[in-house]
Amino acid sequence: MFIDSVVIEVSSGKGGDGMVHMHREKYRPRGGPDGGDGGRGGDVVLKVNPLLNTLNRFHYNEKFNAQAGKNGGPSNRSGRSAPDLVIEVPPGTIVYNDDTTELIGDLVKPGQTLIVAKGGRGGRGNQHFASSRNQMPLTAERGERGEEFVLRLELKLIADVGLIGLPNAGKSSILAATTNATPKIADYPFTTLEPNLGVVQLNLDTTMVMADIPGLIEGASEGVGLGFDFLRHVQRTRILIHVLDGLSEDPLEDYRVINGELDMFDERLGALPQIVVLNKMDLPMVAEKFDALSETLKAEGVELMPVSAVTQLNLKELMWKAWHALQELPVEPVEESLPVYRADEDPDAFDIEQTDEGWTVTGKRIERAAAMTFFDQPGSVRRFQKFMAGVGVDKALREAGITEGESVFVGDWELTWHD
């Protein structure tokens, strides 16, 4: 089974909690605060492995969770940071945020990496909150929560040359005869249900990657047959070898139907260089129609090449012709990741809503501060109160009409209002 589009859930690691601790040592009754910091949570990282060519592994594992950082310890000992969770993907993987449909990155180069979920930072220990006025602070921070995302991965195979044509035109046979690939070959439509990659070894120093793409039929640009699967993968190729079935009743019509589908799906596909070949020339009835078909295509500016996957007629010449055509094409630059543009957002912005249960305060920085607060430590609570007043939440709640004893919900926490 070949899977070229999957949805996975990823979550980075929570940061470790900072510690409240006072140094205790003989003859040093006032050793001072020495609570250590928490360690950083692990990132979730996608990394290109050139040995992979499918997304099958994600069919059985759809949730990936990085480890949390360790908590801080006494004597200013910081907690250990968690290792990053590295998820290997094949080259040609495109990453989307499945909730927002934003394009996050395009992974093409071997070894290329993309951080898709950043680990939470570790909370600070009470050593950081000491001052001349508060030399024994009972204040620390919880570790920052990790990020959670639902990602959609799409695979577009990367090949220098793509074999296109109607089902049973002989694409798989040509791939098997010219590369080390072993595709399934049979005489029924849609034998190839998934793309096959092979390496063409022209000589010791010259190679290129060729892909046999599932057969295309009329209506593929609208999703008919294997259309979307075909067209998604052919987008990555730089040159197309257009294989015409010599046993077809009208190879010329087949040629026009396929080019029409390519152009309707993506104008770039219709503009890709093509080498057009008539396969099955080992059969006398095919050889008889070659000259007439060649003359018709020549009038349209297309040179037709006779080949046979069975007898390997002109296959070596075809591969060299494709290689020389590749050398004449400019190399397209590859971006490490595609930029995502978002509207500027004030990190201190917040919203207040009155509900039957009380008042709900939402805001990225406010919810983050609440999640990193130890509400069982008086010093941490006072620090959170100052923060809320500093960003204007207190004033906004008073203006909205909050009264003594009402509940205020911030993130997962329920607080009680005291004026």
pLDDT in tens, 83-113: 999 999 988 888 999 988 888 988 988 899 9
Label residue 185 by pLDDT band (50, 70, 90): very low
Q: What's the angle, vertex CA 381, arms to CA 377 and CA 386, rounded to 5?
A: 150
Beta strands (DSSP E) in 156-238 are 161-164, 196-203, 206-212
Go through the domains of the chain in sequence order and give each one's CATH number: 1-154 (2.70.210.12), 161-327 (3.40.50.300), 351-416 (3.30.300.350)
Surface-to-core class of residue 249, CB atoms within 10 Å of its CB (0-12 exposed, 13-18 middle, 19+ buried): exposed
Residues 313-344: tens digit of each pLDDT = 999 999 999 999 988 887 555 444 444 444 45
Measured CA distances, 304 to 14, 115, 315, 319 (Å): 61, 47, 14, 15
Residues ≥6 apart with Cβ < 8 Å to 143: 14, 15, 16, 17, 18, 38, 41, 68, 69, 71, 120, 121, 122, 123, 372
3-state secondary structure of 386: helix
Label residue 418 by pLDDT band (50, 70, 90): confident
What is the distance of C-alpha 278 from the center of its chain?
Answer: 38
Label residue 231 by pLDDT band (50, 70, 90): low
DSSP 314-326: THHHHHHHHHHHH
Measured distance CA(297)–CA(291) in Å, rounded: 10
3-state secondary structure of 360: strand
Residue whose C-alpha is closest to residue 104's, from 59, 152, 65, 57? 152
Residues ≥6 apart with Cβ < 8 Å to 151: 7, 8, 9, 10, 95, 96, 97, 98, 104, 116
Residue whose C-alpha is closest to residue 51's, from 91, 6, 87? 91
pLDDT at residue 337 in the model: 45
Give first-to-last CA distance, the chain, whole Å: 64
Residues 345-404: tens digit of each pLDDT = 566 788 999 888 899 999 888 888 888 998 888 888 888 888 888 888 889 998 888 888
Cβ-based neighbour number of residue 300 at 10 Å: 9
**Lowest-confidence range among 19-23, 62-66, 160-164?**
160-164
* 24, two tokens: 């205790």
pLDDT at residue 135 in the model: 84
pLDDT at 189 exceeding the cut of 50? no
Measured distance CA(354)–CA(375) in Å, rounded: 23
pLDDT at 11 exceeding the cut of 50? yes
Measured distance CA(244)–CA(254) in Å, rounded: 7
Residue 206's beta-bridge partner residues?
203
Measured distance CA(280)–CA(383) in Å, rounded: 80
Residue 97 identity: N
Q: In what order do the strands lie in the sheet with 44-48?
A: 85-89, 44-48, 113-117
pLDDT at residue 345 in the model: 56
Measured distance CA(167)–CA(214) in Å, rounded: 7
Label residue 115 by pLDDT band (50, 70, 90): very high
Prediction pTM value = 0.65
Read off φ and ψ for residue 159, nearest 5 degrees: -145, 150
pLDDT at 223 exceeding the cut of 60? no
